[in-house]
Amino acid sequence: MIRYISPRAKILAALLVVLAASLFVCNVMKNSATARIGANDRLKLVILNGFAVANPDYQVDFLQMKSAGLIDQRITRVGSEMEIPVILEARSNQSFSWGKWIQAEITVERSGRIDTPRLGVWELTKLLTGANGILGKFDSANLGNLSSLQSLQVVIWLQSPINENELLGILPKAAHLDMVLLSPGSNDRKPIGWDAQEDCTLRGMGICRSDRTLTGQFKRWVSLLTKNDEQTLNWLGLDLRELRSRAMEGKIYGAVLTLPPADSIEIQLQPIIAWTRIVDAQL
C-alpha cells in the first residue's frame, strides 16, 4: 500500500531534519571549543609568548614545558582566577646552566588583570634597559684572560637596525644566535625580544612553513593578535600597535650570542656594532 504524503508534511519533515543537523553541528563546535580552551588555547598563545617577548633577559622554556605536559594541560582555575604555569630562568650561556629553572604561575583575574612572576634584575636586564646610554664597544675590564674560557654569552647592540640576513652575515661561524632584539632600548623598559631556541609549533602557532626566520616567526605571532588582545598585552607591558609596527619593520636592533672568546673580540670590530658586553661565561 502506498501512503500519500502531502507537500506540507514533506516541508515540515525537511525542516526538522535541518534543525536536528544544526543542533548537532553547534554541539560539536561547542565541545571542540571547550577542548581547545582546556588545552593549547588562544589565551596561552597570547600570554606565554607575550611574557617571553616582553622579558628577553629571561628565557621561557617552551620545550621543557611541553615535555612536562604544561603546554597541553587545562588551565587551572583557582576561585575566580586562572593560573597558567610557566618554566623560566634568567637567560644564561646556552652551553650550560648556572642556575635552576623555576616553575611559576601567571595569574589571570576575572577583571582581566594579569599578574606575572616577579623577575629579578641581573646583568642582562641592566644592559637591555640602558642600551642607548652605553658607551664604548667593549668593556676593557672584561678583556683580560679570556683564553681559559670555553665560551661567552655576549649581548651586541647595533649602530642602526638591520635585517636578519645582514645580521647572520656578520656573525662568526661558531657563534650561536640565542635571541634577537626587535625594538630600541629605553631607560624604563626592555626591548622586544624573540628567542631563537623555540619554534612556531612549541609556541602554539602551528608550523611556520613560509618563513622560518626569527623575524618571520615573530611576524606570524603578531599576525594572530587582535584588538581583543590589547588589554592582555598591556598588562604584560606590550603595546599592540608597536608590536605590529616592529613586525612590519622586520629589523633587528641587537642580539644575544653564545660564541668562543676569540670570536667575541672579532665581532666588535664590525663597523655596524655599537657595543658588545659579556653577560655570562663558561670556564
- 56 burial via Cβ count (<10 Å: 0-12, 13-18, 19+): buried
Decide: 170 and 272 in contact? Cβ < 8 Å: yes
**How far apart, in whole angstroms, are the C-alpha atoms of residue 34 and residue 36?**
5
Look at residue 100 in the predicted model and tell me its pLDDT.
Answer: 61
Look at residue 6 in the predicted model and tell me its pLDDT.
Answer: 54
pLDDT tens column, 160-179: 999 999 999 999 999 999 99
Per DSSP, helices labelled H in the chain are: 7-38, 42-54, 62-67, 123-129, 164-170, 214-223, 230-235, 240-249, 261-267
**H helix count then E strand count, the chain:** 9, 10
From the list 81, 30, 257, the residue with the least C-alpha distance to 153 is: 257
| Coil, helix or strand at residue 7 | helix
Q: Which three cell numbers stand for residue 150?
A: 670555553
Task: Please tell me whether the overall predicted TM-score, pTM, comes out greater than 0.75 for this model.
Answer: yes
User: What angle is formed at CA 233 by the lines to CA 231 and CA 238, rounded to 5 degrees?
Assistant: 125
What is the widest separation between alpha-carbon atoms in the chain?
105
From the list 42, 85, 86, the residue with the least C-alpha distance to 61 is: 86
Decide: 90 and 124 in contact? Cβ < 8 Å: yes
**Rounded to an integer, what is the distance from CA 86 to the centroid of its chain?**
12
pLDDT tens column, 176-185: 999 999 999 7
Look at residue 254 in the predicted model and tell me its pLDDT.
Answer: 96
Per DSSP, helices labelled H in 55-206 are: 62-67, 123-129, 164-170
Look at residue 141 in the predicted model and tell me its pLDDT.
Answer: 53
Decide: 220 and 97 in contact? Cβ < 8 Å: no
Mean pLDDT by 10 residues, the chain (283 residues): 45 44 37 33 90 94 89 82 90 52 90 91 88 72 64 92 96 92 86 86 80 90 94 95 97 94 85 90 73
